[in-house]
Structure 1
Amino acid sequence: MYNRPPTIGEYLLRKLESYDIEHIFGVPGDYVLRFYNLIEQSPIQHIGMTREDAAGYAADAYARIKGMGAACVTYCVGGLSMVNAVAGAYAEKSPVVVISGAPGIREHGKDALLHHKVRDFHTQQRIYDEITVATALLDEPFTAFNEIDRVLDAVYRYKRPGYIELPRDMVDVRGTLHQRPSTGGHLSEPEILDAAVEDAVDFINRSKRPVILAGVELHRFGYQNKLLRLVEEKRIPVVATLLGKSVMPESHPLYLGIYEGAMGRQEVRQFVEDSDCVIILGAFMTDVNLGIYTANLDRARSIYATSEKITVRYHNYEEVMFDDFIDGINSPKLRKRRKPNLEWALPDTEPFRVEPNKPLTTCRLFPTPE
């Protein structure tokens, strides 16, 4: 028996489920009520919020914990209220899918003066073009499934927000089967990957004092175990950026603490900046992570690997996936180090003593070594 393709709204919900999204945060409104009805019938649970910006922040937090989050709001009065939350998610690489209802396509043709419309029908999408990795207006049944795949693929791959605008008269329209592969299939170019790994392994092996600087992307992509294996198998000390805090178990004997230039501990700063090979994995070189630009990291003594670029000193490598590179350098060709002496990194602080009659001050709550 011939099975008809799903509606655009049904397909969108199925794709969200395929990314293990089990909850959608949002505030209903008239332009998105039909899609809300589909949400209620789906396995995805809607979490109602009191404000759209709160829905954006909740979806951001959900994405950081679960891998991808989603928020669903109405047109302009809802979508524009989420801009600050989505912009923050973009800055910190949090994969949030924003689904906004919109006036119907038939209403576009009349150029009707509808409620919540700002300048023209495309104002909201143009704003989201600036704060997301991909946007789509689902205005054509033949391309709708492809457009959904394209946006979700970009959100998944780059760990940044994406935006899907769903006109109210397109929710129940049946689309055509997608014409391109769904998410996945992003592979490294084998020869370039081999060259990048060989260059990095040779550089690390020739170094005397390597150190890993671990960043937030290891969180976003779920690569904490890859980091832990590399650190333990090769006995390379590791520090974290401020944004990447907790990417490495903080009680681990090879963990030294936070590196943020002059804003961090002097011993940690000196250890990192004296290293002849700083292996930077998934870190953003922002003003905060660099201690308001007081960090001193020499590119000639650094490997810099993120989801967007791979650099070994002055050599840039394109078409190399972040996870392939991490797995590649943690190979038998990378020599295992002697266990380093890192006792100096342990803060010499006395155990906390309860003093009921003393006020709780900042200095007492956050004691630091002299």
Structure 2
Amino acid sequence: MTLADVATPALVLDSAVLERNCEAMAQRAARHGVALRPHLKTSKSAGVARLATRGQPGGVTVSTVAELDYFASQGFLDLTYAVGISAGKIEALDRIQRRYGAQITLLADQVEAVRAAAARADALGARFAMLIEIDTGGGRGGVAPSDPELLTIARAIQQSDAFTLLGVLTHAGHSYHAPGLEAIQRIAEDERAGAVRAAERLRGQGMEVSVVSVGSTPTAVYATRLDGVTEMRPGVYTFFDLDQQARGVCRMEDIALSVLATVIGHNPRSGRVLIDAGALALSKDRSGDEFRDDLGFGLVCPITGGAPWPGLRVADVHQEHGLLATDGAPQALFDALPIGSRVRILPHHACMTAAPYDRYHVVRGTDQRVNAVWGKARGWVEGA
């Protein structure tokens, strides 16, 4: 099978680029002396996970119950569920642990959440490891490293028979908005120092802390030191995307993921080419616009991949339609992309674009042969 045979829209994954990205991050982790626990919310795929964990202890990070169930079924049994726990999910997590013999580590930043989850776990006879989420500047969730609540949460975990305190976890998501290398490096140091400070406070109270976990792709790429940290959890680095390229975290040739689409029409009135990949196939995320103004809803490449065509972009999207526009003459665009021809679209945000699909069509370099089809998780619930 070749890309000409694949029903569109479809996800295309260049394994050569993927392998290079995974190896580069593994080398960064080794230079810093930390474990790499890749966040698999981007790919949601065991095929990707096997490359991302190669040479590593084997632990992974996930963000949905569906991902926990899927990855445990694929033999990944050391799983950090990096979303604050809610009591209503404990029963499903307990089933997954028991079914596969997995160890799921939970995350909390509220005493109330710890107590509610503990009560449910105790009723089931379930046992989990737990990390405390630390806010090192992102402002999404977590407690500040110096907040007295940190110790209160830790004691609530220790008082429960259901939970064992492992340590602390933070995510510098605000690094995605940092303007330039120096800003990313400052955030990376804040991330490291904040997590280490929180761990030291817990240890100062006689608590054992074996895990100090940090992670975001920009900070993992540009951190200058990670002393005191035990692991990092970047995710989108496996694929990269236009968002990361726009802020200088990767090069265009580091983007491993694209969406295969078919040209379905020419509109001479608007001067646009229609494709069968729209808002659902590409997503409406335009995060790269924060640093570039020429990306549209994605950049357009030949079916063989490689560099995007200069000036050609997805200018607009409807639910199942994408509209391509160019800075040049429309007729030249119509001639270059006849109806029935195929293109590949580089996405702004790989995580958002990949999420709805159920498989990857794996190619290598400019070769259009599909070497493998990799499945993936979808949705939010167990068994999805």
TM-score, normalised to structure 2, is: 0.24
Larger radius of gyration: 1
Looking at secondary structure, tell me which structure has more strand per residue. 2
Relative contact order higher in (CA < 8 Å, ≥ 6 apart): 2
